Amino acid sequence: MTKASIVIIGAGISGVSTAYNLAKAGMKDIHVVDKGYFTNGSTGRCGAGVRQQWATKLNCILAKKSIEFFGRANGELKYHKDIEFKQEGYLILATTKEEDEQFTKNVKLQNSIGIPSEKLTVEEALKIVPHLNKNSFISATFCKTDGHVNPFLMTEAYYLAAKRLGVEFHFFEEVKEIVVGGNKIKKVITEKEEYLTDKVLNAAGGYAKEIGLMAGVEIPVFSENHEILVTERAKAMQGPMVMSFSKNIYCQQVPHGSFLMGRSNPDAVPSHDISSSWQFLDEMALTVKDILPEVAKLRVIRTWGGSYNVSPDRQPIISDTKELNGFYMACGFSGHGFMFAPITGELLTKIILKQELDEYAHDLHIDRFKENIITDYEHSVV
């Protein structure tokens, strides 16, 4: 039996970010449990992009604050390696008139909160990525401060900083039961240990719904497989992430030299499947050959899948709940938990320590679904 101020379920990026921020704020006896190896879940499977070009104000704010943190992460976390924050932008292609019009609105929204995105013509976009197929799009948006962070090393930077502040981590330890009584959490039982605690953070990524149900809390999220591939290394040839929602692709060359690219499966059904399919490989190859024919000359060396934990409005749930005291959640990131992790940890720390929240953060509460007060929906998602 171990006494814990809080048990954080999931040592992915949301879990380690919150553990670090809570410990920095002075909390002791923080325990993080994870059922598998280091970054076994969505964090270690993600596309490694970090962007601020969103269609909802809420996502724009979360992204901007997170990007600011990535810029100072090595120093603040005293990381002995490098998180590989590369700011060479995201170039997002519009391929239809509707998309072009929507992007004009998006840029206006992004600029209004200080995100330096801009609308580009085809010619301007070709100056940034010369190997783009100029016939595959009609306009683009570009934000030069978007880019890339290494998910494994970013997670390790938080993990090591949290450990130095006394946080205890338990890998290969699956949570089996959350014991609740009288609207309070009593304990968390794992396959190896019992933790006496009155606080739990559900940062379980693809399994957030199941962890919620363990505590009797219904969370309106589901998981969906998103596949991705990586190529062999190539000489540096593409600075920005190239992305298209209508063509269903994101594609970036990471500092290591390989290209990462992914797309969503329009026929995917909610499940915990994370397998690879030949259909993905076919569709991905066809799409990249259309938009970035030079990149299609590279060899693909590996494919994998990972869970998007999807919320009804494609925006995260960073929240407590009236249903159960001491139960907190960071889920429903809809594919963007990695890039929002810095602000996720900061906001949850305020929520858990009952400090005042900025006005915008109230919109992340789970009650927005219950009370049917959803006003926004994020369309800028692959």
Partner 1 sequence: MSKKDIIICRCEDISLADVEECLEAGYTTVEDIKRILRVGMGPCQGQTCSHLIQAEIAKYLHVSKDSVKFQKTRPLITGVVLADIAAAALEGEEDD
Size of the site for partner 1 (CB under 8 A): 33
- The structure tokens 């933790």 sit at 195
Residue 94 touches partner 1, criterion: CB under 8 A? no
Instruction: List beta partners, residue 2.
Output: 195
How far is C-alpha 81 from the chain's CA centre? 22
Angle at 332 (CA atoms; ends 327, 338), nearest 5 degrees: 100
C-alpha distance across the termini of the chain, in Å: 44
Distance CA 44, CA 153 (A): 10
Nearer to partner 1 (CB atom), residue 37 or residue 377 = 37
- Beta strand pairing status for 249-253 and 241-244? antiparallel
- The single-letter DSSP state of residue 236 is S
Contacts of 88 (CB under 8 A, 6+ apart): 144, 147, 148, 239, 240
Provide the minimum distance between the beta carbon of 276 and partner 1 in the complex, in angstroms, as a whole number: 5
CA dihedral 76, 204, 332, 28 (to 10 degrees): -40
Provide the minimum distance between the beta carbon of 157 and partner 1 in the complex, in angstroms, as a whole number: 12
Provide the minimum distance between the beta carbon of 232 and partner 1 in the complex, in angstroms, as a whole number: 5
How far is C-alpha 111 from the chain's CA centre? 22
Task: Name the E strands within 76-173.
Answer: 90-94, 117-120, 139-143, 147-148, 168-170
Rule CB under 8 A: which of 126-155 touch partner 1? 152-153
Distance CA 63, CA 335 (A): 13
260 to 289: interface string for partner 1, x by CB under 8 A? ----------------x----xxxxxx-xx
Provide the minimum distance between the beta carbon of 156 and partner 1 in the complex, in angstroms, as a whole number: 7
Residue 351 touches partner 1, criterion: CB under 8 A? no
Distance CA 48, CA 36 (A): 20
Nearer to partner 1 (CB atom), residue 22 or residue 288 = 288
Nearer to partner 1 (CB atom), residue 299 or residue 354 = 299
Residue 231 touches partner 1, criterion: CB under 8 A? yes
Q: With beta carbons less than 8 A apart as the criterion, state whether 141 and 380 touch.
A: no
For residue 100, which amino acid is it?
A: D
Provide the minimum distance between the beta carbon of 78 and partner 1 in the complex, in angstroms, as a whole number: 15
Provide the minimum distance between the beta carbon of 226 and partner 1 in the complex, in angstroms, as a whole number: 15
Nearer to partner 1 (CB atom), residue 160 or residue 189 = 160
Provide the minimum distance between the beta carbon of 160 and partner 1 in the complex, in angstroms, as a whole number: 9
- The single-letter DSSP state of residue 357 is P
Nearer to partner 1 (CB atom), residue 99 or residue 227 = 227
Q: Which residue in 293, 355, 377, 379 binds partner 1 (CB under 8 A)?
A: 293
- The single-letter DSSP state of residue 336 is -
Task: List the structure tokens of 67.
Answer: 């990007």
Nearer to partner 1 (CB atom), residue 14 or residue 155 = 155
Provide the minimum distance between the beta carbon of 281 and partner 1 in the complex, in angstroms, as a whole number: 6
Q: Which stretch binds partner 1 (CB under 8 A): 22-30, 183-191, 226-234, 356-364?
A: 226-234
Half-sphere exposure of 164 (CA within 13 A, CB side): 13
Instruction: List beta partners, residue 179.
Output: 187
Nearer to partner 1 (CB atom), residue 164 or residue 370 = 164
Angle at 176 (CA atoms; ends 175, 178), nearest 5 degrees: 85
Q: Which residue in 99, 156, 224, 363 binds partner 1 (CB under 8 A)?
A: 156
Rule CB under 8 A: which of 26-85 touch partner 1? 37-40, 44
Rule CB under 8 A: which of 295-324 touch partner 1? 295-304
Nearer to partner 1 (CB atom), residue 288 or residue 351 = 288
Nearer to partner 1 (CB atom), residue 231 or residue 315 = 231
Q: Which residue in 7, 48, 125, 230 binds partner 1 (CB under 8 A)?
A: 230
Nearer to partner 1 (CB atom), residue 80 or residue 127 = 80
Residues that bind partner 1 (CB under 8 A): 37-40, 44, 152-153, 156, 230-233, 256, 276, 281-286, 288-289, 293, 295-304
